[in-house]
Amino acid sequence: MARAAKKKQVNSGKNKSVSAKKKSIQTKNKLPENKDKLNKGENQGFKISLPHPEKVQAWGMNSHSLSSVLRPKTSAEIVEIFQYANSHSLKIGLRGGGCSYGDASINNDGIILDLSDYNKILEFDASSGKLKAESGVTIKQLWEYGIERGFWPPVVSGTMYPTLGGALSMNIHGKNNFAVGTIGEHVSEFTFLTANGKILKCTPKLNSDLYYSAISGLGMLGCFLEVIIKMKPIHAGKMKVWPVVTRNFQEMFNYFEQEYKQSDYLVGWVDAFGSGKGLGRGLIHKSVHLQEGEDKDFPENCKLENQNLPTRFLGIIPKSWMWLFMKPFSFPLGMKFVNFGKYLSGFLSNNKPYMQGHAEYAFLLDYVPNWKYIYKPGYMIQYQVFLPKETAKAAMEEIFLHCQKRKIVSWLAVFKKHRPDPFLLTHSLDGFSMAMDFPVKNSTRSKVWALTYELDEIVLRNKGKFYFAKDATMRPGIAKRFFPEKNLKQFYSLKKKYDPKSILQTDLYKRVFLS
């Protein structure tokens, strides 16, 4: 297979027009390449003008701000914005793809620095698989660039639209976390603009304190600029997938423990309405990569036209309309029916393997664009818990029973297996996670939030943890109860060192760490 030339220069960013009225950064002259001057915070002649505030919304539609949004396209512009913020005591919230379910990229007390236009793939080394990119590059750009060259991102989320910088700030995991860890474990180097204006190269050995804290650091220490990530070589355009029905939590836990060493990916869907002997019933999808030579259609089936998700259902109905067909079921009894129907349908293909493309398997959340609109005129939260293997089964059973008792049942629940990682504010551990989507209306908000507070106590009692990329409800003081004290002390120390004026803030950070 023909592969990209070593260290090939690539520009995969998309041009986006910006009107003169909305243009947020005007340059009189270019910043010099001399990083020493940049590190001293010298004003190089940029003029910052803040545009009119616009609505910036959480992905789950549960919070928003009216903020001036700056959209830099170069590292020089990002540097100048940081200089401006420091000199004017301006608060900045960093934002990438806006895929966090809660308020992780919302900033009601300042501006938003949207990095989605800082999105070029810079270099690729086909011999090592190392790819260098600007931090606004999305997972979609990574896989589309890599797959025709025989590579796939090492870790992807359930949607392809997060940016690389956002993924590192939250240290995202995928359906293969038990095997390869979080995305941060595949980044060998990055350049990082600290909040006080220093540009530092970070590796596990160079500026290691910043390396292990910026990854997982919620965007509170600075901004990722250029990132080097190692892509995974693949030898096929499809993977082999086994759907497996499990009748309760015990069967699901047993299958994961028996099969994870022989699997590349494992994910479980759980019917949260199941009760009695069917508590925790669901459907697992196990996937393994094909070995070299097993896929007779490789590399032809790695072309983008053979990998992109179909835009129409049955070749007729636009996928963007599909949420309208789901809308009539968007109430508790309707979703109980949908979940039970999905569980029963699993028996039709139980343990019958099939072949599926990489994007089809990886990006289930992108199958139905705007599916979250079924929650309107309300909104949604996702409550995700991580529990050690010793307590996970009992704790999850207690969580599901408690939700049923409160008559607030998750409409979608997803189960994964995890391993620990070395990053400072990591959510991961040796155990399992459950992500639960809950509908919310203004009239039910207080009840849903009260439920999450009760679930917090179950999780903490069972030595569990939480995930900031999904959180919308965590109270002040909870972080102190699941993070080791030394980790929090180190985080606060680094925050003071690299952001002495505390210019980097988001609503999540203020809610959890400053309240």
The token pair at 296 is 């007779």
Any domain includes 412: yes
Say which CATH number the domain at 224 has.
3.30.465.10
Any domain includes 177: yes
| Contact status, residue 51 vs residue 68, Cβ threshold 8 Å | yes
**Residue 277 CB neighbour total at 10 angstroms:** 10
Any domain includes 414: yes
Give the C-alpha distances (Å, rounded to integers) separating 39 from 33, 210, 431, 500, 501: 11, 16, 42, 15, 16
pLDDT per residue as tens, the chain (515 positions): 444 444 444 444 444 433 333 333 333 323 333 344 333 333 444 468 899 999 999 999 999 999 999 999 999 999 999 999 999 999 999 999 999 999 999 999 999 999 999 999 999 999 999 999 999 999 999 999 999 999 999 999 999 999 999 999 999 999 999 999 999 999 999 999 999 999 999 999 999 999 999 999 999 999 999 999 999 999 999 999 999 999 999 999 999 999 999 999 999 999 999 999 999 999 999 999 999 999 999 999 999 999 988 877 777 778 888 889 899 999 999 999 999 999 999 999 999 999 999 999 999 899 888 899 999 999 999 999 999 999 999 999 999 999 999 999 999 999 999 999 999 999 999 999 999 999 999 999 999 999 999 999 999 999 999 999 999 999 999 999 999 999 999 999 999 999 999 999 999 999 999 97
Q: What is the pLDDT of residue 49?
A: 85
- Per the structure, the complete domain to which residue 359 belongs is given by 238-466
* Structural domains of the chain, count: 2
Burial class, 330, CB count within 10 angstroms (exposed 0-12 / middle 13-18 / buried 19+): middle
Say which CATH number the domain at 441 has.
3.40.462
Tell how strand 121-125 and strand 199-202 pair up.
Answer: unpaired
Give the alpha-carbon dihedral of 78, 84, 86, 91, to 10 degrees.
Answer: -80
CA neighbor of 425 nearest in space, from 96, 107, 171: 171
| Contact status, residue 85 vs residue 91, Cβ threshold 8 Å | yes
Looking at the fold, whether 273 and 417 belong to one and the same domain comes out as yes
Looking at the fold, whether 370 and 438 belong to one and the same domain comes out as yes
Looking at the fold, whether 444 and 303 belong to one and the same domain comes out as yes
Looking at the fold, whether 205 and 297 belong to one and the same domain comes out as no
Is the entire prediction scored with pTM above 0.75? yes
Q: What is the pLDDT of residue 164?
A: 98
| Contact status, residue 245 vs residue 273, Cβ threshold 8 Å | no
Looking at the fold, whether 230 and 244 belong to one and the same domain comes out as no
Any domain includes 383: yes
Looking at the fold, whether 157 and 242 belong to one and the same domain comes out as no
| Contact status, residue 279 vs residue 397, Cβ threshold 8 Å | yes
**Residue 11 CB neighbour total at 10 angstroms:** 10
Looking at the fold, whether 343 and 453 belong to one and the same domain comes out as yes
Looking at the fold, whether 423 and 445 belong to one and the same domain comes out as yes
Any domain includes 7: no
Any domain includes 76: no
Contacts of 288 (CB under 8 A, 6+ apart): 239, 240, 262, 263, 264, 265
d(CA 477, CA 475): 6
Q: Among the three residues 466, 487, 502, which one is the final residue of a domain in this structure?
A: 466
Looking at the fold, whether 348 and 458 belong to one and the same domain comes out as yes
Q: Among the three residues 466, 485, 502, which one is the final residue of a domain in this structure?
A: 466
Any domain includes 390: yes
Q: What is the pLDDT of residue 403?
A: 98
Contacts of 475 (CB under 8 A, 6+ apart): 453, 456
Q: Among the three residues 212, 234, 256, which one is the final residue of a domain in this structure?
A: 234
Residue tagged 């990489």 (tokens) = 358
**3-state secondary structure string across 402-443:** HHHHCCCCCCEEEEEEECCCCCCCCCCCCEEEEEEEEEECCC
Any domain includes 433: yes
**Element housing 494 (H / E):** helix 485-498
**Element housing 480 (H / E):** helix 478-482
The token pair at 41 is 């915070």
d(CA 470, CA 133): 25
d(CA 270, CA 385): 14
Looking at the fold, whether 230 and 249 belong to one and the same domain comes out as no
Looking at the fold, whether 300 and 433 belong to one and the same domain comes out as yes
Residue tagged 């003081």 (tokens) = 477
Looking at the fold, whether 259 and 222 belong to one and the same domain comes out as no
Q: What is the pLDDT of residue 15?
A: 43
Q: List residues bridging with 386 in a β-sheet.
A: 433, 465
Region for residue 351 given its phi and psi (left: phi exceeds 0; alpha: psi -120 to 50; beta: otherwise): left
